[in-house]
Amino acid sequence: MNLTDTHSHLYEPEFDADREEALARAAEAGVERLLLPAIDSGSHERLFGLCRRHPGRCVPMMGLHPTSVNGNPRWREELATVERLLQTPPEGIPPFCAVGEIGLDLYWSRDFRAEQTEAFRRQIDLALQYGLPVAVHTREAWPETLEIVREYRGRGLRGVFHAYSDTAATYRELRTLGDFVFGIGGVVTFKKSLLAETVREMELRDIVLETDCPYLTPVPHRGRRNESAYVRYVCDKVAEIKGLDPEEVAAATTANARRMFGRPQMPSGSPAREDAPSGHGKTPNDTRP
């Protein structure tokens, strides 16, 4: 089985005691590649260090998480760091596969909506400039997210809606606004999750799998730290919902991830490219996307 975890925070401190072991367990479960979204400059060195040690398996993104904007007087400096690193990536790491994770998170506070919106738009513009997909984090902000994405219709915006949690109707509209896939994680395994019904209506070609580890742990490990090996449980649940063999789901979702994140697509006329506290407001046992 060939699986891809399209959203893993394996570089976070929760894995300091057994990071290499967790990576080995992921390999044993068939997880051949991990995509690692950035949070903010406080965790960049951990992110880059993991990618340098495992350049064939751990692929970085670069972006500023929306909750790292909240109450941060230096958030525009953080945004400038994102732009600088996209322009001149650090040595020894694989090319950034996306601008992420970016978006809107109004769960903790709506007081910083304007700042988050400015950061989100700027990073979408950077993704378009560098021919990269976006990895979008949305929490308690689907109407606001849709409003912004509608502005970019027809401009080549592409990417993933990480930890997708809204309705089938929103999924269908987003498909008309750009080239998007939808990250399905541990929430789909929860007994009372409404996400299963949405997944039932999704096309398999629109789905990628993720863990968001160490957060959003799937059943049967819910309540403990999540890790990339557990994407296998997500694969099995998606297969059950859609009446498919898990091998088929693994192959299709990995192909979807490869298509979306495999290489930059530079805009015409662009030069060719070589191929606040961390944790973003969650705890390892958080069950909310």
Residues tagged in the binding site annotation for a divalent metal cation: 7, 9, 101, 137, 162, 212
Task: Specify the amino acid at residue 35.
Answer: L
In total, the chain counts a number of residues equal to 289
N-term to C-term CA, the chain? 26
Of residues 135, 37, 54, the one with CA closest to residue 94: 54
- What is the C-alpha separation between 23 and 32, in angstroms, rounded? 10
**CA gap 214, 124 in Å, rounded:** 26
On the question of a cis peptide bond just before residue 220, with omega within 30 degrees of 0, the verdict is yes
**Cβ contacts of residue 223 below 8 Å, gap of 6+?**
217, 285
For helices 246-261 and 231-242, what crossing angle results, to 10°? 110
Cβ atoms of 89 and 99 closer than 8 Å = no
Residue ranges for the known binding site are: 7, 9, 101, 137, 162, 212
CB environment 243-256: b (16+ within 10 A), e (fewer):
eeebeebbebbbbb
Nearest to 3 by CA among 28, 38, 21, 20: 28
Q: Encoding tokens for residue 166?
A: 């809204």
